[in-house]
Amino acid sequence: MFSPKSNFLDIEDDWVCPCKLKQQGRVGKATYKFMNGMSRYKFLIDSEFVPGVTGGRILPTEDLVLVNFNEQLLTIHCENGEVKRSLKLLGHPWDVALYGEDCAVVSFNDLQKLHVIDLNDLNLISEIDVPKSCYGVWCLGNTCFATCGKILHRIDMETKKDRPLKLEGEGIFNIFVDDNRIYYTDYYSLHCLNHNGQEVFVYKHDKLSWPRGIAVDTKGYIYVAGYKSNNIHKLTMDGRLFKILITKDEGIERPSFLHFECHQRKLLVAIDEGRAVFQFKV
């Protein structure tokens, strides 16, 4: 089972393969240096033998909020990975988005609802009905974006009015939205649209298999996790490959969700079917 307790161990190695570290039972705050100049910041969460962390965000307080699909949990963690609070959810969560200063919106793959949760007391504030179960979810201002099959629902959080947008692709699980663009991944590609639904670019690469999580940093670089290719691609704003950051040779297996925290340039990454969560300095 997913345990809210983690054992931490300081590690001073210049390089430790994260999967080997997990196999040794070493879970800890550490810094690692990669050959490409990217540094590992912390090994945060290890759910031992049960996968399931499918979504997460870094809060303004630097705490983490994660959802675990298999355990039906929402957990809030200190910066060092220890659990502060947890909430048993009513369904199997897929993703979590930050809304306002202290709320989260959770999507479920087995409920036709989105749940709005107060992160201070973990109370359910409201439910938003959706036509189908949802996967990727993101909040921008007062709008909640949620993918349900091939439809992106754009829901006004006050009026609950929906402006659905039809998407192209199969297997749409992850999204990212900023002021100008909407990004989503399907089984084969990263898609980028403007807010009118017009295509900006589609990114495919022979070294990107089953793209999943998406993040964008303050310089406009785009990060996409290759779940089956075991890597993370860094793209320019116009959708060209800039660098393949991390590969299986460096210990990354099955990366799923990504989240970028702007102020300290931290990239949150879940790997190994959601068994472990890392922060990277980028």
pLDDT of 47 reads: 52
pLDDT tens for 238-262 read: 999 999 987 887 667 899 989 998 7
pLDDT of 24 reads: 44
Report CA dihedral (207, 95, 186, 147) to the nearest 10 degrees: -160
pLDDT of 100 reads: 94
Positive or negative, the CA dihedral 139, 203, 231, 265 is negative
Binned at pLDDT 50, 70 and 90, residue 272 comes out as: confident
pLDDT tens for 103-127 read: 999 999 999 999 999 999 999 999 9
pLDDT of 191 reads: 99
pLDDT of 13 reads: 35
Task: Measure the CA angle with vertex 71, ends 50 and 228; round to 5°.
Answer: 50
End-to-end CA distance of the chain: 32
pLDDT tens for 184-221 read: 999 999 999 999 999 999 999 999 999 999 999 999 99
Q: Does domain 18-281 have CATH number 2.120.10.30?
A: yes
The Cα–Cα gap between 16 and 265 comes to 22
Binned at pLDDT 50, 70 and 90, residue 28 comes out as: very low
pLDDT tens for 218-243 read: 999 999 999 999 999 999 999 999 99
Closest CA to 57 of 113, 121, 139, 127: 139
Q: Would you say 87 and 117 are in contact if contact means Cβ atoms under 8 Å apart?
A: yes
The Cα–Cα gap between 188 and 211 comes to 6
pTM: 0.85
The Cα–Cα gap between 146 and 163 comes to 11
pLDDT at 274 exceeding the cut of 60: yes
pLDDT of 245 reads: 84
What phi-psi label fits residue 272: left (phi over 0), alpha (psi between -120 and 50 degrees) or beta?
A: left
Binned at pLDDT 50, 70 and 90, residue 43 comes out as: low
pLDDT tens for 53-88 read: 899 999 988 888 999 999 999 999 887 778 899 999
Residue 148 neighbours by CB distance under 10 Å: 20
Average pLDDT of the residues of the chain: 83
Total number of residues shown for the chain: 282
pLDDT of 11 reads: 29
pLDDT of 264 reads: 64
Stronger pLDDT, 164 or 262, i.e. the higher one:
164
pLDDT of 51 reads: 61
